[in-house]
Every structure is written in structure tokens, then in C-alpha cells.
Structure 1
Amino acid sequence: MGGRVDESCVLVDGPWTHRFVGANGSRFHVVEAGTGPLVLFLHGFPEFWWAWHDILPRVADAGFRAVAMDLRGYGASDKPPRGYDGYTMAADVTGTIRALGERNATIVGAGAGGMIAWAAAAFHPKLVNRLVVLGAAHPLRLRAALFADPRGQLSASTSALRFQVPRYEHVLTRDDAAMVGELMTRWTGPQWRETPEFDDYVRRCREAMQIPQAAFCALEAYRWVFRSAIRLQGYRFVKLMQKPLVTPTLQLHGELDTATLPRTAQGSGRYVIAPYEWRLIPDAGHFLHQEATDMVTGEILRWAKTS
């Protein structure tokens, strides 16, 4: 890598179109393919829209309008100094649905994007007709596990705890964002970790994290989670998330996920009163959309096509 990095590094050519849309007071970079009912993809940390580059054209070919967005603070989307709370980022997503001219969408979220997807469906149920969550527990389930499972989920979340340190973004981006590669290696299952595709993906994510302000913005979302735990805003968030989810939800989780433990995520169904399914993906870690692309794509299409 080396040299100054800018947003052009995420504008990768392919069987898709790059666009920018205004939503919730910010500008978001979206990547679009196909026509039909909208399926909106949300990446996790430390990724960007490229998380879905294999799945996007397959979903488009199946008769859907497949759109992957760079979340607030990532990739080529705006990077304002504030707005990394659960309310705002959920409104970013539903605002993007409207900005795309759609009335609703199936939302597919992975990792941190999965947490936002849970919130979007809870706060704006009329805009989310189906939900697919990968590698992410319901926010209240994760919150409970951090307290109740100190040797498990709390120990697995030590990276997020370190992110609370002021100016930690400089550590994250040191040596061409070497820590991004270390985290991805730690969270990935062994089979995909040994492939050239993994090496290329890590390289792209390390580069994207070096876009000015991207690392700060990415960490601010994690900081909000912990800061809000002792603030009124966090109490209100919890109260709103306690309302039973009425969106049909499919939850996919890697058997070897060491970032969000399967036993943490599996309890999320208690918050859903709509149709709900849980699938544990064997031999996959936190990035199961990359590690088990064929299986995950099939599950997304099955759920999106269910009437």
C-alpha cells in the first residue's frame, strides 16, 4: 500500500453502478445492480460495500434490485464528526431506502451492519419488509451477554473495549492499518483465512480504513455503544428496542465466529414475534458472507422470495 489513500479506492468497477444519494442529512455511496424488489446490504466493521461484491450480482440476477451502501463514516460516504448512534444510523438506512425511490426493502446486515439492521427494523417497521442478519446478535441480547458472560462474550469483545481509548484510530491505521488485518484474521474461520481471496479482501479493507476520517468514524459507533450504557440516550434506545420485532427475520451465524459468539446471537429470537429462523453455518467465522458465499446467497434469496 503506502502513499495517501482517498475515496477512489472503493469505487471499484464491476457489474454494478456507483451512485450517491442524499439521506438523513448526509450523502451516501451506494452500489447498485439489477431491477426488482429492493434488497439493501449493510456491511460490518472493518469492511465497506465490497463485503457484498460476490453476492450483489447474484441477487440482481435472481430478479432483485440489489444495492450495497457504504455506512456513515465508511468508504465514499460522508464522514461527519457526529451521528454514530443507533438512532441516526438506523435512520440513515431507512432514509436511503426512500432516497432510492422505494417504499420498503429487504435489509441484509452483517456484523456492525447487522446491529444497525436490527435497529432499522425496530424503529421503522413499515420500511423493512424482511430482515436477514449475519454475525450479529440483537442489540439487547448482546448487551445482556456482555454482563452475564464475562468469560465468553465480554472476553470476545476486548477489541471493542480498546476502541474506547481516545485517539485509538491512530493505532488502528498504523503501519497501513495492520491492525485491521490482525482483527480480520482473528475473526475469520481457518478455511477462508488460507485463501488468496482472504488476502485480497484484507488488503482492500486495510486500504479503505486509511481514507481520511474513516477510522475515527468507525470507532465512534463502538464508542457510542459503551457511552450510551450510562446515559439517558442509551436507556431510551433500550426501551425502544424492547418492543417486539414484527419483521420476518432470518439470522445466519458462523459456527466459528469469535467476535460475536454463536451462543450470544442465538438468543436473539426472543425479541421477534414475526416468523423467525436461525441457521448456524458450519466452518465459518464472523465474515460468513465471504466464507460461505454460496450458502449465504441461497439463504438470502430464499428469505427474500418468501411471501
Structure 2
Amino acid sequence: MTLPESNGNGGPVRLDGPWTHRDVAANGARFHIAEMGDGPLVLLLHGFPQFWWTWRHQLPALAEAGFRAVAMDLRGVGGSDRTPRGYDPANLALDITGVIRSLGEPDAALVGHDMGGYLAWTAAVMRPKLVRRLVVSSMPHPRRWRSAMLSDFAQSRAGSHIWGFQRPWLPERQLVADDAALVG
């Protein structure tokens, strides 16, 4: 997989555009964000194996509509910290609510896609006062997803990569093998 060349602003994930980049501290880690606009916070959460760039078209549209649009890189992705542990759903959800607090906002509308949607559901359950609105794409409610993964063979097979991530060390080795060809 070939990443874009660094633009001199801190690495390949800080791609130029109408947004600004910065890092915020939350839940014991550092998170890269791209943001633009003023108004109520809309926090955008990417799926796997994506990063904040997923939301490059939505950032300007939301800012123009009167929102403070922020796309974050989740833990271990893009420009955010790659910690040795802390990748369980509860901790990742606390990363998200911690970023809301670090941005000085009382709450946020969470918009999540794929795994970001799963974490948005989790954050809304764990810290409901911090989640003003919830928009989830390409991810069912976690209880429905779990039920389908355990009872529907076709769904379990389609989500086999999720089961694969539960094995120690193997997912990391697969993702970096052959110059990250699987990710590409």
C-alpha cells in the first residue's frame, strides 16, 4: 500500500485542504483531528481500514451548514497514537468521548461508519450525556450485529475479518505482510 507523500505538516495523514489539523489529548493518548467550521460539534468516526480522510467531502459541507465538523483518527490509525493496548470497544469509545471533552464541547453529534459506527453506538451507551445525536452507517446496532454473527452463517462468514482480529498477533502480521497488500 502506498501512502501519499508527507506534505511537511506532520506526515502523510495531514493532507492539505480547507480544514486545519491538530492533535488533542484524551483518555491517555494523542489523537489527530482535522476540523473546520463553527457551531455545534459533529464528530466523524471512520471505519476500518480508513482514517480521517474518509470524511474529506463531509467536512466542508457540514462547516458550510453551520457546524463544527471534526474528523478524528481513531487510536492506532493515521496520525493518532499507536498504543500497545487499549483497542477494546469500551476503551475506544472512551477515546471518542474524551476527544469531545478535550475539544471543550458539552456534547456532539456522532457520525460513524463501519467500525466507527460500532464505536459511536458504544460511546452513546457509555456516555449518553455527551452524545447529542447519533448517525450510524454500515453498522447495525451492536446487539443485532452480535446476534447475526452468532446465528447466521452467511453473516458470520461476511464478518470473518472481525473474528480474525480476536486472535493474538496474527492480525497485525497479516496487515503488514507484503507491504500491507491486504490493506491496499
2:116 counterpart residue number: 113
Task: Find the aligned partners of 2:121 and 2:160 in 1 and give their Cα distance.
Answer: 23
Match status 1:29 vs 2:32: yes
Identify which of 171, 177, 181 aligns with 1:178.
Answer: 181
Task: Find the aligned partners of 2:89 and 2:163 in 1 and give their Cα distance.
Answer: 18
Q: 1:122 to 1:171 in 2, by over 3 A?
A: same
Amino acid at match of 1:39: V
DSSP-derived class of the 2:86 partner: coil
2:159 counterpart residue number: 157
Shift of 1:101: 0.7
Match status 1:125 vs 2:128: yes
Length-normalised TM-score, structure 2 = 0.91
Moved over 6 A (4+): none
DSSP-derived class of the 2:181 partner: helix
DSSP-derived class of the 1:39 partner: strand
Shift of 1:83: 0.9
2:88 counterpart residue number: 85
Task: Find the aligned partners of 1:74 and 1:26 in 2 and give their Cα distance.
Answer: 12
Between structure 1 and structure 2, the one with the greater Rg is 1
2:22 counterpart residue number: 19
Structure 1 residues 156-165 or 18-27, which shifts more?
156-165
Amino acid at match of 1:153: Q
CA shift digits 1:270-304 (9 cap, x unpaired): xxxxxxxxxxxxxxxxxxxxxxxxxxxxxxxxxxx
Identify which of 130, 146, 150 aligns with 1:147.
Answer: 150
Amino acid at match of 2:174: V
More strand, by proportion? 2
Shift of 1:24: 1.0
Shift of 1:61: 0.8
What does residue range 138-287 of structure 1 map to in structure 2 within 5 Å? 138-150=141-153, 152-165=154-167, 166-181=169-184
DSSP-derived class of the 2:76 partner: coil
Task: Find the aligned partners of 1:83 and 1:25 in 2 and give their Cα distance.
Answer: 10
Task: Find the aligned partners of 2:11 and 2:90 in 1 and give their Cα distance.
Answer: 29
Instruction: Name the structure, 1 or 2, with higher relative contact order (CA <8 Å, separation 6+).
Output: 1
More helix, by proportion? 1
**Structure 1 portions without partners, runs of 5+:** 182-307
Task: Find the aligned partners of 1:73 and 1:111 in 2 and give their Cα distance.
Answer: 16
Task: Find the aligned partners of 1:177 and 1:129 in 2 and give their Cα distance.
Answer: 37
Task: Find the aligned partners of 1:56 and 1:104 in 2 and give their Cα distance.
Answer: 18
Task: Find the aligned partners of 1:70 and 1:17 in 2 and give their Cα distance.
Answer: 14
CA shift digits 1:49-97 (9 cap, x unpaired): 1110111111111110000000011111111111111211111111100
Query: Percent identity between the aligned chains?
Result: 55
User: What is the RMSD computed on CA atoms of the aligned residues?
Assistant: 1.8
Amino acid at match of 1:87: A
Task: Find the aligned partners of 1:25 and 1:47 in 2 and give their Cα distance.
Answer: 22
Amino acid at match of 2:39: G
Match status 1:101 vs 2:104: yes
What does residue range 30-45 of structure 1 map to in structure 2 within 5 Å? 30-45=33-48
Amino acid at match of 2:92: M
Length-normalised TM-score, structure 1 = 0.56
Matched pairs, number: 179
Shift of 1:2: 6.4
